[in-house]
């Protein structure tokens, strides 16, 4: 199977089986999504969604969050991973939005990565989710799934390398949706430790599954 055929098969599968693919973070506007994505680093979306309602009620805008002190904000996110750093990041982010962007969330990756707590992955999430820009955020799920399905080469060893290969082959208009396809597939089917291969409709073209079967053949006891 050629790389082009492999991508076509994967895209066709997701278009049929996951026509609606969106972030599972709860938000009502770009500022809320930015806060939620910053909090979601090394934390589950479920935990973030349990935490953000109180934050959004007290700090619905960058202007209000910029006035918060560490002691004001920290109690609201203490249940999130790395609450000390994330508290500082949120306050710093809100202040920079006020100082440099008139309180509005910018919509370019180059501008977003200037904000405290925002790296390339977060910037790609914001621009793809809010503005449907063809930016691919590579988290642990995207990295794992794209490798197992052989969408990217085995030598692609960094998130940036994986990102570049994915956007090279995925049609531009589908990149923002493909990001969610890969994340959700990794979150619920292609699990890190115990992937649900028997439930996966992509197993017939999966490099990981093929190796798994080959390994089973080599280790199975002889029956005669």
Identify the active-site residue in 46, 99, 114, 121: 121
Phi-psi region of 160 (alpha: psi -120 to 50; beta: other; left: phi over 0): alpha
The answer to whether 200 is annotated as binding is yes
Specify whether 139 is catalytic: yes
Long-range contacts of 155-160 (CB under 8 A, 24+ apart): 159/120, 159/121, 160/120
Identify the active-site residue in 45, 131, 139, 168: 139
CA 20, CA 9: separation in Å to the nearest integer?
18
The answer to whether 206 is annotated as binding is yes
Structure tokens at 86: 């994330």
Structure tokens at 216: 């089973």
Structure tokens at 185: 């597939």
CA 192, CA 190: separation in Å to the nearest integer?
7
- By the 8 A CB rule, do 127 and 149 touch? no
Helix axes 159-169, 140-148, angle to 10 degrees: 60
CA 60, CA 56: separation in Å to the nearest integer?
5
Query: Active-site residues: which are they?
Result: 121, 139
Q: What residues are designated binding site for [4Fe-4S] cluster?
A: 190, 197, 200, 206
Q: What residues are designated binding site?
A: 190, 197, 200, 206
């Amino acid at each position: 199977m050629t790389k082009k055929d492999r991508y076509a098969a994967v895209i066709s599968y997701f278009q049929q089986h996951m026509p609606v693919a969106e972030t599972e973070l709860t938000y009502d506007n770009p500022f809320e999504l930015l806060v939620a994505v910053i909090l979601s680093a090394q934390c589950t979306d479920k935990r973030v969604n349990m935490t953000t309602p109180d934050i959004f009620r007290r700090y619905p805008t960058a202007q209000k969050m910029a006035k918060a002190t560490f002691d004001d904000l920290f109690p609201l996110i203490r249940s999130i991973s790395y609450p000390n750093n994330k508290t500082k990041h949120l306050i710093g982010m809100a202040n920079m939005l006020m100082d440099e962007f008139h309180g509005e969330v910018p919509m370019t990756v180059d501008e977003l990565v200037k904000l405290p707590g925002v790296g390339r992955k977060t910037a790609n999430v914001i621009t793809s989710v809010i503005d449907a820009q063809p930016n691919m955020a590579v988290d642990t799920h995207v990295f794992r799934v794209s490798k197992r399905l052989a969408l990217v080469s085995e030598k692609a060893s960094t998130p940036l390398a994986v990102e570049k290969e994915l956007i090279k082959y995925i049609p531009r208009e589908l990149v923002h949706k493909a990001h969610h396809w890969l994340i959700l597939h990794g979150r619920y089917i292609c699990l890190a430790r115990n992937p649900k291969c028997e439930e996966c409709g992509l197993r017939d073209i999966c490099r990981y599954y093929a190796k798994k079967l080959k390994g089973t053949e080599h280790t199975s006891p002889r029956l005669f």
